[in-house]
Amino acid sequence: MQILIQLFHILVFPGLLFDVAMGVLLMGLNNKLVARMQNRVGPPILQPWYDFLKCCGKETIIPARAKRAVFLGSPYLGFVLLISVSMFIPFAGFIPVTMGSDLVVILYLLTFVSVCEILGAASSGSPFAGVGLSREMVAMISYELPFVLVILTVARAVGADQPSGAVFSLEGILAYQEMNGPLLFSPAAIPAAIAMLFVIPCETGMHPFDIAEAETEICEGMLAEYSGTPLAMYRLTHMVKVYTMSSLFVAMFLGNRFTGIVPVDILIGILLCIAVMFISAALPHAVCARLKVEQVFHFYWTVVTGFALAGLLLVWAGV
């Protein structure tokens, strides 16, 4: 019986189906909000779902030069890895996999998901994909530094009184927030939260920072040679990553169990995810133009790292 509940948790509620549904919802809302901010009607909320279905229906062309196994395999591997990441992140009190979710493990799994996309691009053998994957790598280098600093800050802020000095596991962080309120309200964590809000658009490749899939400059960059179901899987990974990152932010800074009543918690959790997505992804998308490669790198290693370092120093000083 326990297995069935476990399977339900893995495959349906906080697992596969819920992630996909939330990913589609968040991406649809994101497009709608961006459109409304640009004073136009914007696509229906379920548009990402129609895009996914349409891509599934299309023919899959495998270029002669591509390495077939890696070309077809890496989209699915990337998606499955991302679902396993989103299962580490507790949502509204539900921890789908009782395996102890650790921030460093999540950091490295997210890196693995981007590596899968890079492998797919490399295996397609197209020069556009080559440029795309080099830009994706530069983007990864640029957002990894602030992301690491934020993780260290949160671990220190939560674990100050613990014997080991730092709590990296998300359950510990949530337990701490249950006792003394969301982390966001303590002054030390505000710069770290701002830094994290900047990291989310670059990690998920949203508009101002999507130097890897710039459709105008390098013809869809990494996905230049993809069509059909592999392309659908990559776009689905892109959508679910938006959900994973915003639910990670909610788990890290806003806590999980708000009222104790499960359905209400889930609703609040969803609304918070939407709010985080709006601030971090929709606003910059509607307002800014795409940055150049070294502008992204320069911006992340000076402004965003400045916020993250300020957070770390504040926490270090024991505020």
Partner 1 sequence: MNMEHYPILAIISLFLGAFLVALFGRLNKVLRNLIVAAAVTIPLCLMIALIAPVMIGGQVIGYWMGNWAPVGPWAIGIGLEVDALSLFFGLVVTIAVFVSGLYSFTYMNRDDSLENYYTLFLMLSGSLLGLVLTGDLFNIFVMIEIMTMTAVALTAFRVDYEGALEGALKYMVVGSIGSTSVLVGIAMLYSQLHTLNMAQIAAALPDHQNLVTVGAFAFLFLGFSTKAFLFPFHPLAADAHAVAPASISLMISGVITKCGVYGIIRLAYILYQNINEPAVSILITGFGAVSCFICVTMAFNQHDFKRLLAFHSISQVGYVITAVGLGTALGLSAGLYHAMNHTLFKGLLFLCAGAVQYATGSLDLGRLGGLAKKMPKTCALFLIGAASISGLPPFNGFFSKWMIYQASFEKGLDTGNFFYIVVCVVCLLSSVLTLASFVKVAQSVFFGQLQPQFENTKEVPLTMRIPMWILAVLCILTGVLPWEVLQKLVGPAAAAALNAAGYIQGMLGSGAAAGAGAQAAFSMEIGFWGPVSWLCLLLIVSCAVCLVAVLGTAEQKSPEERHEMDRRAGRTAAFTRDGFADAGRILKPAEKEGHYRNPVLSGTTLTFTGEKDPKYENFFSGEESEYSQVGGGDLFWGFKTNWRHYFQGMRRWHSGVINDYTRYGIVALAFVLLYACLFL
Partner 2 sequence: MFQKWIDKSMRKSPWIYHINAGSCNGCDIELVSVLTPRYDAERFGFHLTGTPRQADIVVVSGPITMQSVDRLIRTLAQVPEPKCVVSLGSCPRSGNVFKGSFAIAGPLEKYTHVDVSVGGCTPKPEAIVAGLAKAAEILEEKRREMRKHGGMAPSPAVAAAVEHEERAEFGTGDATAVRQGAEQEADA
Partner 3 sequence: MIFPYLGQAIRNLFTKPATEKFPLAEAPAAQPHYRGRIAYDPSVCVNCGMCQKVCAPQAISRDIHPLPNGDQEITLTFDLTSCTFCGTCADFCARHAIHLTEDYMIVGTKPEDFLVSGTFTKKKPPAPKFTPEQIAAMKAAAEAKKKAAAEKAAAETK
Find, among 205, 25, 181, 65, the residue nearest to 132 by Cα: 205
3-state SS class at 39? coil
Q: Closer to partner 3 at the Cβ: 54 or 292?
A: 292
Binding mask 6-35 for partner 2 (x = CB under 8 A): -------------------------x---x
Task: Phi first, then psi: give them for residue 102, nearest 5 degrees.
Answer: -115, 140
The answer to whether the CB of 117 falls within 8 A of the CB of 234 is yes
Question: Does residue number 279 form part of the binding site for partner 3 (CB under 8 A)?
Answer: no
Q: Provide CB contacts within 8 A for 209, sequence distance 6+.
A: 139, 201, 202, 284, 290, 291, 296
Interface pick for partner 2 out of 226, 243, 297, 307 (rule CB under 8 A): 226
Question: Does residue number 231 form part of the binding site for partner 2 (CB under 8 A)?
Answer: yes
Q: What's the CA gap between 176 and 140, in Å, rounded? A: 30
Q: Closer to partner 3 at the Cβ: 235 or 285?
A: 285
Structure tokens at 308: 């993250």
Binding mask 205-244 for partner 3 (x = CB under 8 A): ---x------------------------------------
Q: Closer to partner 3 at the Cβ: 30 or 244?
A: 30
Q: Closer to partner 2 at the Cβ: 103 or 239?
A: 239
Task: State the binding partner of 37 from partner 3, partner 2, partner 1, none, CB within 5 to 8 A by kind.
Answer: partner 3
The answer to whether the CB of 241 falls within 8 A of the CB of 83 is no
Structure tokens at 273: 């995810």
Binding mask 162-201 for partner 3 (x = CB under 8 A): ----------------------------------------
The answer to whether the CB of 290 falls within 8 A of the CB of 208 is yes
Question: Does residue number 292 form part of the binding site for partner 3 (CB under 8 A)?
Answer: no
Q: What's the CA gap between 66 and 256, in Å, rounded? A: 45
Interface pick for partner 2 out of 144, 220, 254, 265 (rule CB under 8 A): 220
Torsional sign, CA 30, 34, 35, 36: positive
Q: Closer to partner 2 at the Cβ: 55 or 103?
A: 55
Q: Closer to partner 3 at the Cβ: 41 or 69?
A: 41
The answer to whether the CB of 88 falls within 8 A of the CB of 99 is yes
Task: State the binding partner of 211 from partner 3, partner 1, partner 2, none, CB within 5 to 8 A by kind.
Answer: partner 1
Q: Which of residues 16-35 bind partner 3 (CB under 8 A)?
A: 33, 35
3-state SS class at 188? coil
Q: What's the CA gap between 98 and 175, in Å, rounded? A: 15
Contacts with partner 2 by CB under 8 A lie at 31, 35, 38-44, 47, 49-51, 53-61, 128, 214-216, 218-220, 223-228, 231
Contacts with partner 3 by CB under 8 A lie at 33, 35-42, 208, 283-284, 286-288, 291, 295, 299, 303
